[in-house]
Every structure is written in C-alpha cells, then in structure tokens.
C-alpha cells in the first residue's frame, strides 16, 4: 500500500473515531440524566409547591375504639388500628424519604384536630390522605420522628400506653413549580428587553453604519463581549441592576427584573451577532432591487431585508432562550437562591438552573432531583428547537427561499 493511501486511511479513521467519541459523550450525558432523574419526573413535581405548608394539631378526643384495617396490604404500608390510619414509607416529589398518610378512616380521631396556631383562620385541622406525617410527640414518651421510619411510627401510635401531645404534619413539598414559573418569566422578560435592542443594533451595524474604524472597533468590542464569562455580568447586575431596581421599583432585594436585565445584557452580543449574520446572507441584489424601485433605506431594510433574515433572527431568539434557561452563575447574584412558590417579579426566586445549584449545595446533595430538573431543561430546549425548526419551515414554505 502506498504511503498516500495509508495517510488517507488514517485521516478517515480519525474522523470516524472523533465522531463516535462526540456522539458517545453527548448521549452519556443524556442517559445519565434520564437514568438518575427519570423516575422523579412527574406532573406533580412540575406543578407542586416546594415549601410544604405545615400544621401542628392536638387531639380533640382520645381514641376509644379499634379500627378494622385488615385488608390493606403492602410492602411499605403500616396500619395503625388504634387511630384508623395507614402510613406509607415513601419519597416526596424531591426524592426525600417521608412518611405519607395512605388512608384515614372516616371516624378517625386524627381527622379533626385542634390547630395550635392561634393566628390561623382554620381552628380545626385534620390528617388527610396524601399528607406527610412529620412527627408525633407524646406525653412522657420520646417523639416519633420521620427518620426512624413509618414502621416505628406506626408501632408507637399503636402503643396504648402513649398519649398523643401533638401531631405535626404537612402538605407534600419539593415541587418545582415556582422555579418553572420564574424561568418562564425570565425568558419572557429577557427577550422583551434584549430582542428589540439587539435586532435594531444589528440592523444599524449591518445596514446603516458607515464602514469606518469606529464602527469596526464597536463590532469587535461586541464580538469580544460574547465570550465574557457570565459571572462578570452577574457582578454588573449586582452593582447596577439590583440597586437600580431597588430604587425604581417596589423591590427591596435581588429580584426577577434585575435578573432579566442582567440576562438581557448577556444576550445582547449573542443576538446582535446572530442577527448580523442573518442580515449578511440576504443578497445585495434584493437591496438594490428595492432601492431601484424608489424605496428608501428604511423601507428596504424593514420590508425586504428583515423579512428574509427572520429565520436567522428566530435562531438568535432560540439561542437566547437557551442561554436564559442555562444561566446560573449570574443569576445567583442578582436573582437569589431561595426557592419560592409564589413568584413575584419584584422579589427573589430561583430559575431551574439555580434550583439545581440549590439542590446540590444542600446537605446531602440531591442528585436525583437535580437530574430531573436537568432532564426538564433538556426537554424544554428540545421542544423549543422543534418549535423553531417548524416556524422556519413554515416561513420558508410561505415564499421565502
């Protein structure tokens, strides 16, 4: 075999191997996320509260009968005949071990409890199916804790010598609804700020600006900004946008608006660059044709050029959304790390990516939930991708090239 042939084979096999490694690396990420987080993925997780509303109740009357709960069978189900409830050893939405109430008999004394919180509107509270039993404390006996498991809790409750002092229970928590909503708000607000500015700037540079040293310098500057790490923009956000929003809006701390403004600044160079690229590929012939028809520069730009650049601008939008969803470093500064259920634009909250950060800095780190959120982020990006492709396809069918 000739030397040249060997070199060709070598180069060919190098391309094959590189492709295989790249594809493998990307699929490993996807499968890791799917395997770790797939089991927790549910609508309840997406729509559920993160913070569980807690209750502390005291018995109105002590149990005086025994309930028949015979036919409830399950590996992780434990019956409490004395109070007519069934407990389940399970996980909450976030994957933490909890004791859930599986069944409450209609006549169970735990159905109606005195609320120990004097300021609450509801004076009578009660244990219901699906709630999480956190602790039960007794007179003259040690408290039953979640950490000791459902079986121990059930045994303690069945113990006739114990007298319940307080029942501490809560709704189920761990949902990520707040972070999902925050992320959607961020996407909307950021694009609202960044898209018009970015597109119009790109139009200025590509269509209107004279080709001189100053514009060249400005373009190079913008290009450089594309590569600046986002945490530096975070610094800008915390020194400029947070104080600015605190002064001008009802905000008193880090907040969603400051987050969106910071992200807009991050997006600007990306949008300007991508839009400029899209404008550049519009053939000059079309500009000349329009101008030769007596249209002025503005008409030519907005009626002919921009229309054709639309698929490129959509790509810019998509890249922007991807950037917003994926951003965490800058947002930790300007948006905060406290997971919120009720999202307000003038208050701190967390985006999905920062939610991952919060989960991973917890003790112990919640890898399962983090992977689930990662999976959700991947799915959102995937759906967006398909949407953009579809839009571009429709546009191209409708008469564009």
Partner 1 sequence: MMKEVFKIEGLSLFYKDLQAIKNIDLDIYKNQITALIGPSGCGKSTFIRCLNRMNDLIPEARMEGCIRFDGEECQVTGYDVIGLRKKVGMVFQKPNPFPMSIFDNVAYGPRQQGVRNKEVLKEIVEKALKQAALYEEVVDRLNDSALTLSGGQQQRLCIARALAMEPEVILMDEPTSALDPIATQKIETLLEELKKEYTIIIVTHSMQQAARISDYTAFFYMGELIEYDKTNVIFSVPKNKQTEDYVTGRFG
Binding site for partner 1 (CB under 8 A): 210-211, 283, 285-286, 288-296, 299, 303-304, 307-308, 398-401
Token representation of residue 192: 């609202």
**Rg for the chain, CA atoms, rounded:** 30
Cβ pair 191, 289 in contact under 8 A: no
Residue 210 or 227: which CB sits closer to partner 1? Answer: 210
Query: Nearer Cβ to partner 1, position 118 or 210?
Result: 210
List, as one string, the DSSP characters of 269-312: HHHHHHHHHHHHTS-HHHHHHHHHTT--HHHIIIIIIHHHHHHH
The distance of closest approach from Cβ of residue 198 to partner 1 in the complex, given in angstroms and rounded to an integer, is: 23
CA distance 215 to 208: 11
User: How do 113-115 and 85-91 pair as beta strands?
Assistant: unpaired
CA distances from 60 to 28, 144, 330 (A): 56, 20, 52
**Is it true that the peptide bond before 248 is cis, omega within 30 degrees of 0?**
no
Retrieve residue 155's tokens. Answer: 């045994």
CB closer to partner 1 out of 209 and 244: 209
User: For residues 70 and 399, which CB has a smaller minimum distance to partner 1 in the complex?
Assistant: 399
Nearest approach, Cβ of 287 to partner 1 (angstroms)? Answer: 8
CB of residue 196 vs partner 1: minimum separation in angstroms?
23
Picking from 66, 313, 278, 294, the residue whose alpha carbon sits closest to that of residue 195 is: 313
User: Would you give the distance in Å from CA 329 to the centre of its chain?
Assistant: 14
Rounded distance between C-alpha atoms, residue 138 and residue 141, angstroms: 5
Shortest Cβ distance from residue 53 to partner 1 (Å)? 57
Q: Length of the chain in residues, anyone?
A: 401
Contact 132, 48 (CB under 8 A): no
Q: How far is the CB of 310 from partner 1 (least distance, A)?
A: 10
- Give Cα 137 to chain centroid, integer Å: 37
Pick 310 or 381: Cβ nearer partner 1? 310
- Give the residue with the Cβ less far from partner 1, 147 or 212: 212
The smaller minimum CB distance to partner 1, of residues 14 and 293, is found at 293
3-state helix, strand, coil in the chain (%, to 5): 60, 10, 30
Q: How far is the CB of 207 from partner 1 (least distance, A)?
A: 11
- Residue placing its CB nearer to partner 1 in the complex, 165 or 307: 307
CB of 201 to partner 1, least distance (A): 21
Give the count of beta carbons closer than 10 Å to the beta carbon of residue 247.
Answer: 8
Shortest distance, position 400 Cβ to partner 1, whole Å: 4
Rounded Cα gap, residues 259 and 186, in angstroms: 7
| Non-local CB neighbours of 50 within 8 Å, separated by 6+ positions | 173, 174, 175, 176, 177, 178, 179, 339, 340, 341
Nearer to partner 1, 298 or 385 (CB): 298
CB of 299 to partner 1, least distance (A): 5
């Amino acid at each position: 075999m000739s030397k040249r042939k060997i070199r060709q084979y070598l180069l060919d096999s190098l391309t094959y191997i590189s492709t295989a490694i790249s594809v493998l690396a990307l699929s490993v990420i996807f499968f890791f996320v799917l395997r770790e987080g797939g089991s927790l993925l549910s609508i309840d997780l997406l729509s559920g509260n993160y913070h569980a509303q807690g209750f502390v109740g005291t018995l109105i009357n002590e149990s005086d009968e025994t309930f028949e709960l015979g036919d409830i069978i399950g590996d992780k189900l434990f019956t409490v005949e004395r109070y007519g409830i069934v407990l389940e050893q399970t996980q909450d939405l976030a994957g933490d071990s909890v004791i859930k109430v599986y069944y409450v008999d209609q006549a169970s004394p735990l159905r109606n409890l005195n609320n120990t919180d004097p300021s609450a509107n509801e004076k009578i509270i009660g244990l219901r199916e699906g709630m999480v039993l956190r602790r039960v404390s007794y007179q003259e006996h040690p408290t039953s804790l979640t950490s000791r498991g459902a079986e121990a809790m059930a045994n303690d409750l069945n113990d006739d010598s114990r007298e319940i002092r307080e029942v501490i229970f809560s709704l189920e928590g761990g949902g990520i609804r707040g972070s999902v909503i925050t992320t959607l708000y961020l996407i909307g607000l950021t694009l609202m700020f960044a898209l018009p500015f970015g597109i119009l700037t790109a139009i200025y540079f590509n269509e209107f600006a004279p080709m001189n040293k100053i514009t060249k310098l400005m373009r190079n500057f913008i290009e450089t900004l594309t590569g600046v790490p986002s945490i530096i923009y975070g610094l800008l956000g915390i020194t400029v946008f947070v104080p600015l929003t605190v002064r001008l809006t009802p905000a008193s701390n880090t907040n969603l608006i400051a987050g969106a403004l910071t992200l807009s600044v991050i997006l600007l160079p990306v949008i300007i660059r991508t839009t400029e690229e899209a404008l550049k590929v519009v053939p000059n012939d079309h500009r000349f044709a329009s101008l030769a028809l007596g249209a002025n520069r503005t008409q030519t730009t907005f009626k002919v050029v921009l229309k054709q650049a639309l698929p490129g601008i959509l790509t810019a939008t998509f890249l922007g959304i991807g950037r917003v969803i994926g951003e965490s470093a800058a947002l930790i500064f300007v948006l905060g790390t406290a997971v919120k259920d009720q999202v307000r634009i003038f208050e701190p909250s967390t985006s999905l990516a920062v939610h991952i950060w919060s989960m991973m800095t917890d003790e112990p780190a919640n890898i399962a939930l983090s992977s689930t959120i990662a999976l959700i982020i991947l799915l959102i990006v995937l759906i967006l991708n398909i949407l953009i492709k579809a839009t571009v396809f429709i546009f191209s069918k409708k008469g564009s090239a």
